[in-house]
Structure 1
């Protein structure tokens, strides 16, 4: 039985090129949408075997919102994200598949693969074929960078603080009052109060309780 491919992109030239590419390769029948509303309407009426989706289409939540809606209706939906630009030769990060953070977000949201728009034609054809066959398209370079991202330490939420501010935050987390902190560190209460204000501003905390919670979560209150 001939597969149905739902191609979602707001650029007519890209849709025309993909339609011809898929047709020449005999991958299946192509139906097209240019925005979120049209994509969901065709998804429900055509029940395509695969969706090739630009994440930047017009709509309240863009292509990712469309994909979430599809997966909510059918958890087995096959969506291949086709967007952005890869780094390319002399380009930015991510080699031929684009920003690894964007690709990781798409895969985490439920996509069966990610292909950048400046990838080789064979890459797109291979990805569509693999997803149609029930697999997942994961470029070797993408897999490598995603692995490196997972091994990278998480960003330090307390990075904006000075060493003294970290010290004061830790004492707050242990339940010390401003007076007790001043006595412990040999500084004035005014200095402690000013430091607490700076810490709240830097961390976006709305009060002393929030600072205590931040200190505990960061392991400073032990």
Structure 2
């Protein structure tokens, strides 16, 4: 099924460019929002699978709009924040708020289409190296340490593989366990960390010290 996309950006020319790009790549654009305050009503109206969210908007910014959408809906769309700089503090906060990933505005059209399709399925981490660079520029903090300590040894192992960019199927093959067992571990990890998706879980894992650079995918 082709993912339906909502565009949230205060620049009309940016929205028009993204619409043309996505439609050229075979994706459906079902709505637009010119401000973060418009996002939740437009999501309710158009029911997109993915929101391309400009992280910096006047009024309600992309971080607050992300929080609103995820808090208000039982089955919210995936949110992909769009930014100019990959080390942007706004992006870090957006991922912690529950965004599924981020894109640079200078990304190629194929990268944007790939990102939309990836976050729509929710089974893979988008651009794991970019998230690693973003998060590891900050020292580990203590606000998630208690939650991280509740992970079992196997759950921590699965989380490290997620941070390395492995899909559920890849993890099952690497650990020689069933796909259903992997899904159970992933669900338990999300519940224990209070995470809604893979990106949020990985950011929390880095911040708590469960995952460290050089520690990924068995390195």
Band the TM-score falls in, shorter-chain normalisation: 0.5 to 0.7
Supply the RMSD in Å over aligned alpha carbons.
2.4
Question: For the pair shown, which has the larger CA radius of gyration, 1 or 2?
Answer: 1
Unmatched 5+ stretches in structure 2: 142-219
Change (3 A) 1:144 1:40: closer
Contact 2:6–2:32 (Cα < 8 Å) also in 1? yes
Supply the distance in 2 between the matched residues of 1:19 and 1:119 (Cα, whole angstroms).
Answer: 15
User: Taking structure 2 as the reference length, what is the TM-score of the superposition?
Assistant: 0.57
Change (3 A) 1:137 1:31: farther
Change (3 A) 1:76 1:112: farther
- Structure 2 residue 124 is the aligned partner of structure 1 residue 141: no
Structure-to-structure mapping, 1:78-97, within 5 angstroms:
78-83=78-83, 85-86=84-85
2:115 maps to what in 1?
Answer: 127
Q: Which has the higher contact order (CA 8 A, sep 6+)?
A: 2
User: Which of 88, 95, 106 is the equivalent residue of 1:107?
Assistant: 95
Structure-to-structure mapping, 1:1-222, within 5 angstroms:
2-59=2-59, 61-74=60-73, 76-77=75-76, 78-83=78-83, 85-86=84-85, 98-99=86-87, 101-135=89-123, 137-146=125-134, 148-149=136-137, 152=139
Supply the distance in 1 between the matched residues of 2:50 and 2:111 (Cα, whole angstroms).
Answer: 16
Supply the distance in 2 between the matched residues of 1:40 and 1:147 (Cα, whole angstroms).
Answer: 28
TM superposition outliers: structure 1 runs of 4+ over 4 Å: none
Unmatched 5+ stretches in structure 1: 87-97, 155-222
Supply the distance in 2 between the matched residues of 1:134 and 1:39 (Cα, whole angstroms).
Answer: 21
Following superposition, the deviation at residue 143 of structure 1 comes to: 3.1
Following superposition, the deviation at residue 43 of structure 1 comes to: 1.1
Supply the distance in 1 between the matched residues of 2:119 and 2:140 (Cα, whole angstroms).
Answer: 32
SS in structure 1 opposite 2:137? helix
| Cα deviations by residue, 1:142-177 (Å, 9 ceiling, x for unpaired) | 233145336x366xxxxxxxxxxxxxxxxxxxxxxx
| Cα deviations by residue, 1:11-54 (Å, 9 ceiling, x for unpaired) | 11111111011111112233111012322221111221111100
2:215 maps to what in 1?
Answer: none
SS in structure 2 opposite 1:6? strand
Following superposition, the deviation at residue 67 of structure 1 comes to: 0.9
Supply the distance in 1 between the matched residues of 2:125 and 2:108 (Cα, whole angstroms).
Answer: 14
SS in structure 1 opposite 2:55? coil
Supply the distance in 1 between the matched residues of 2:91 and 2:36 (Cα, whole angstroms).
Answer: 20
SS in structure 2 opposite 1:51? strand
